Amino acid sequence: MAGKRRTSWVVWLRRAVQTAFLLLFFYLFLRTAYYPINRIGGPVTLFFQLDPLAMLTTWLASHAVAAGMLLSLVTLGVTVLGGRWFCGWICPFGALHNLFTSLRGGRLKARLEAGGYGRWQKAKYYVLAVFLTGALLGVNAVGWLDPFSFLFRSMSTAVYPALNNAVVSLFSWIYDANPGVGPVRVTVVSEPVYEFLRRHFLAVQQPHYFGNVLIGFLFGLVIAVNFYRPRFWCRYICPLGALLGVAGKNPLVRLNKDEEACNNCRLCLADCQGGGNPNTEQWKPAECFYCFNCKSDCPSQAISFGLGKRADPAAIRPVPAASFSGKGVVVK
Amino acid sequence: MIGATIGWIKGFVKPPKEARLDLRRRQLLACGATGLGAAFLFHTHPLGRKRSYNPDLVRPPGSLGEQEFLSKCIRCGECMKVCPTNGIHPTALEAGLEGMWSPVMRMTIGYCEYECTLCTQACPTGAIRALTVPEKQKIKIGLAYFDKNRCLPYAYARTCIVCEEHCPTPKKAIWFEDVQVANLAGEKVMVKQPRVDPDLCIGCGICVNKCVIKGQPAILVSSVGETRNPDNGVLLQSTNPYGG
């Protein structure tokens, strides 16, 4: 966080909610297994049922939709009314990108430059357009880039098998070496830990999947590019984010900037996740994840979110040309 | 209140500058052309021909007919995670580029467990439809066939009954013909040569998985005869007493 201000409680609440949904995702992932009868251990497809993109392309391509996927209409409705909260608060892939984005270091100036809106953020809408028109002719390839498909597929075929292998190898190595002093051996501690992991987290048998290297590489890539731009996947690629951006482009919950209080320091960009330009009068609801970092970072308390003040074509004042440039923000 | 609602709807339909996505018409048309062009291109892949099927593309039980399957599968990997035998894998290009990362059975790694329907329960979009165990046990996902150049009784005049022992159908889909053959010493010996009954075999692949010849087993499963694509048939008329 930039500045000396204490992090706002809304940001802590958002982090708690994100953590909860990320853990729920991992929990449901682990429950997607034989448990121990021929019945799945819970609503393991919950996140796919909340996914309006998968619902829409499946409907366009096959003219039918699984009943459970109608739950995604709730996501769509909430977004139309309130904005892209889903990306900032619910999406587990978003939470993961958020986590890695927060590991970014760098000088404040570089962070301010990376935080602003860039025109390449439109790329995701074009990605969405390609998948939707393809779906019209029955080609439903959206799963390549649908965030939940991407995350779950990467987890199941690459990340989880590799982690399982790493943990089993580590504990086997400890067991074989068994260092210690006299009768006090490491296995006294490591074996109960291993037993706990084996019971609750590890696979019954080491999984092996064809294609795991390519899928794992792509997963590593989209995680790594968070160090190039904050939440790179969410800003530039995610077709679900694009769909929610289209749906939530003029929401009821809006960012209000107190022009009198704002001193144009642009610290609101330091931790901006979506690149929604909280610093200018051209706040972009379609890009905003409602992460509230801008509100939290603002030293003059000029930013607030609230109902109303919804966009009325006539009420928008002309934007000063100097405050916004296409390539990001000029820091003085 | 009503006025505000109407104002908001107006703002949504014809948004002010700040709410616009600023997409260019020309780029959007290019994207549309890309999507449509890709679809037409995919459909002219040889697998898009009528009655053209990849024998290696054995899908999990309950999978819809190939075209409908591809229109519903979102390649999420739920079926791959849930399969207790590790038998379901992401395709590379077996289903064409269009079908990349959709599920395919790899019987050398796992097989379709006779009493299990987990993948049919896990599919979020219905590309694999939900099945009860009795329903699933009647569905053919493929058909087993022997490689006589590798199979012990055929190639080496040695007895082996491993595949028949593992076959899970109530009446075994693998049967034996007792044949008198000559061994290396020129002696006449009796061997049991295994055969597949195409009516009874459901293509579960446990025979492939358990075959003593590893790597490239002496019994394999191909997609021919699969229930989901009726014109990918091997028999003009099925006499399977269990349906399918």
Distance from CA of A274 to the nearest CA of B (A): 14
Helix (H, G, I), strand (E, B) or coil at B51: coil
A301-312 in b/e form (b: 16+ CB < 10 A) is ebbebeeeebbe
* Confidence grade of residue A34 (pLDDT, cut at 50, 70, 90): confident
Convert the pLDDT of each residue in A123-139 to its tens digit. Answer: 999 999 999 999 999 99
**Mean pLDDT, residues A302-319 taken together:** 65
Q: Which two tokens stand for residue B105?
A: 């059975």
Whole-number Å distance between alpha carbons of A149 and B205? 27
As a whole-number percent, the residues of chain A with pLDDT over 90 amount to 80
Is the pLDDT assigned to residue A310 strictly greater than 60? no
Q: Do A319 and B20 touch (CB under 8 A)?
A: no
Q: Which amino acid is at A154?
A: S
A257-273 pLDDT, tens digit per residue, is 999 999 999 999 999 99
B interface mutation test: which of A39, A55, A58, A288 has the most B CBs within 10 A? A58
Chain Cα centroid distance, residue A51: 13
**Residue B205 neighbours by CB distance under 10 Å:** 26
Q: Quick check: B6 pLDDT over 80?
A: no
For chain A, the residue count is 332
Neighboring chain B residues of A118 at a CB cutoff of 8 Å:
none
Q: Quick check: B70 and A143 CB within 8 A?
A: no
Residue A14 pLDDT exceeds 80: yes
Reported as a single tens digit per residue, the pLDDT across B82-100 is 999 999 999 999 999 999 9
Does residue B13 surpass a pLDDT of 90? no
- B117 touching A, CB under 8 A? yes
The CA distances from residue B232 to A140, B66, B68, B210, in Å, are 23, 10, 15, 26
The mean pLDDT value for B6-31 works out to 80
Interface test mutation site (partner B, options A26, A31, A38, max chain B beta carbons within 10 A) = A38
Q: What is the pLDDT of residue B237?
A: 59
State pLDDT tens for residues A201-245. Answer: 999 999 999 999 999 999 999 999 999 999 999 999 999 999 999
DSSP code string of A91-130: -HHHHHHHHHHTT----HHHHHHHHS--GGGGHHHHHHHH
Shortest Cα–Cα distance, B189 to chain A (Å): 42
Q: CA–CA separation, A19 vs A75, rounded Å?
A: 19
Q: How many CB atoms lie within 10 A of CB A317?
A: 7
What was the pLDDT predicted at B170? Answer: 96
Confidence at A194, pLDDT banded by 50, 70, 90: very high
Find the range with the poorest average confidence among A1-10, A25-34, B15-24, B220-229.
A1-10
pLDDT of residue A327: 42
Predicted pLDDT of residue B3: 74
Alpha helix stretches (DSSP H) within A227-324: 232, 239-247, 293-297
Q: What angle do CA A169, A174, A176 make, to 5 degrees?
A: 95
Option in B22, B23, B75 nearest A144 (CB)? B75
- Name the residue among A40, A149, A215 with its Cβ closest to that of B76: A149
Does the structure show a pLDDT above 50 at A76?
A: yes
In degrees rounded to 5, what are phi and psi of residue A47?
A: -70, -30
Distance CA B4, CA A259 (A): 24
Report domain extents, chain B.
52-222
Average pLDDT over residues B169-196: 94
- State the pLDDT at residue A5: 66
CA distance A172 to A202: 14
Which string of DSSP letters, residue by residue, matches A168-211? HHHHHHHHHH--EETTEETHHHHHHHHHHHHHHTS-SS----TT
Q: What's the confidence (pLDDT) of residue A328? A: 43
**DSSP strand E in B54-164: where?**
88-90, 103-105, 143-146
Encoded tokens for B2: 């009503």
A263-291 as b/e, with b when 16 or more CB fall inside 10 Å?
eebbbbbbbbbbbbbbbbbbbbbbbbbbb
Which amino acid is residue B142, in one-letter code?
G
Partners of A181 in beta bridges:
A184
- Strand partners of residue A180: A185
Across chain B, what does the average pLDDT equal? 91
pLDDT in tens, A139-183: 999 999 999 999 999 999 999 999 999 999 999 999 999 888 888
Query: Binning pLDDT at 50, 70 and 90, where does residue A309 land?
Result: low
What contacts A87, CB < 8 A, 6 or more positions away?
Answer: A94, A234, A238, A241, A244, A274, A289
Tell me what pLDDT residue A325 has: 44
Provide the mean pLDDT of chain A.
90
d(CA A115, nearest CA chain B) in Å = 18
Query: Which residues does A110 contact at the CB level (< 8 Å), separation at least 6?
Result: none
Centre a 10 Å sphere on the Cβ of residue A31 and count the other Cβ atoms it contains.
15
pLDDT > 70 fraction of chain B, expressed in percent and rounded:
92
Rounded Cα distance, A28 and A43, in Å: 7
Task: Name the pLDDT band for B236 (thresholds 50, 70, 90).
Answer: low
Checking DSSP bridges between strand B219-222 and strand B143-146, what pairing results, if any? antiparallel
Cα separation values, A293 from A314, A323, A331, Å: 29, 20, 19
Helix (H, G, I), strand (E, B) or coil at B44: coil
Q: Say what the alpha-carbon torsion angle A187, A190, A194, A200 is, to the nearest 10 degrees.
A: 140
In order, the DSSP letters of A14-74 are: HHHHHHHHHHHHHHHHHHSSB-SSSSBSS-TTHHHHT-HHHHHHHHHHHS---GGGGGHHH
Task: Give which of B194, B203, B199 is closest to B235, Cα–Cα.
Answer: B199
Q: CB neighbours (10 Å) of residue B216? A: 10
Distance, in Å, from the CA atom of B11 to the CA atom of A250, rounded to the nearest integer, reads: 7
Q: At A267, list the tokens.
A: 């610290």
Contacts of B123 in chain A (CB under 8 A): 45
Are residues B69 and B91 in contact, defined by beta-carbon separation less than 8 angstroms?
Answer: no
The pLDDT assigned to A320 comes to 47
Which residues of chain B make contact with A311, given a CB cutoff of 8 A? 11, 15-16, 18-19
- Identify the pLDDT of residue B222: 96
Task: Please say whether the beta carbons of B145 and B222 come within 8 A.
Answer: yes
